[in-house]
A = this chain, B = another copy of it.
Amino acid sequence: MTEPLTDLNRLCIHTITTKPWSLAEAIDGYTRAGVPGVTVWRQWLEPLGVDESARRLRDSGLEVVSVCRGGFFPAETAAGRQEALDDNRRAVDEAEAIGAPLIVLVCGAVPGIPLDEARRQIADGIAAVAPYAAEAGVKLSIEPLHPMFADDRSAVNTLKQANDIVDALAMPNVGVTVDVYHVWWDSELEEQIQRAGKTVFSFHVCDWRTPTRDLLNDRALMGDGCIDIRQIRAWVEATGFHGFNEVEIFSNEHWASDQTEFVERIKDAYLAHV
């Protein structure tokens, strides 16, 4: 059995986890709480602009773990696919500006596009953006999304599919993100994490609530659901991964609560259940 974590040294929180907070408020809240890492969602960069956001992040001492999110490659038209590539290159610029070594890819899906075609467009899109990202020293990480998002968020729904794309592209800055919420149900999870090996670039945690009242915004705090998070962390660490454990929770319930108290609850749940 993997040992519990005994400190917060590898704790990272996604800005979307504390959605009511602006970037400035999140920086303040996380640093006051002793949270060392932050993953910045791109919309958090808009109010202050990228340069000022970058300055504030640098001054805070927080480690910027990643940028969420690139991807959304499939589109009905060539123009739409080009727009996606342009947007992903902008995400690379933003990551470079704020010192994020990695962009998480939510690969995209469109209800009218067959999944196999969407998956081809995803691989093509990643292949087109990866060299630009490599020049900027930025990694791209494919996050397989739960199959309940196969209609309009991602046609990559298992770690096996993500690994297949990584293997096919064979580009050193393309890897995978393991988010327990999306993959916990998969009976091939352990073997696919082993297969990913050194290409496990990042690790996200939260929990699966029973009953889940909303497909998108009802994720639970670690320990409030049925996922054996520590077991999955053990598999991930067996690959040699010792990066941040990133807390990414979309939750109408938690967003409605006091965010300072919520960050304290995250810290407790992190030590108890991750």
Verify A226–B146 contact, CB threshold 8 A: no
Query: From residue A153, how far is it (CB to closest CB) to chain B in Å?
Result: 10
Query: From residue A246, how far is it (CB to closest CB) to chain B in Å?
Result: 22
Q: Given the known A-B contacts A147-B147, A147-B148, are A185 and B226 also in contact in the complex, defined by CB atoms under 8 Å?
A: no
Dominant SS among interface residues on chain A: loop
Protomer copies: 2
Verify B215–A152 contact, CB threshold 8 A: no
Assembly CA distance A114 to B184 (angstroms): 11
Verify B111–A210 contact, CB threshold 8 A: yes
* Contact-residue bracket for chain A: 20 to 34
Identity of the chain B residue whose Cβ is nearest the Cβ of A147 in the assembled complex: B185
**Per-position contact with B for A139-172: 1 when CB-CB < 8 Å, else 0?**
0000000111011100001100100000000000
Measured between beta carbons, the chain B residues less than 8 angstroms from A186 are 147, 157
Assembly CA distance A147 to B145 (angstroms): 11
Query: From residue A222, how far is it (CB to closest CB) to chain B in Å?
Result: 14
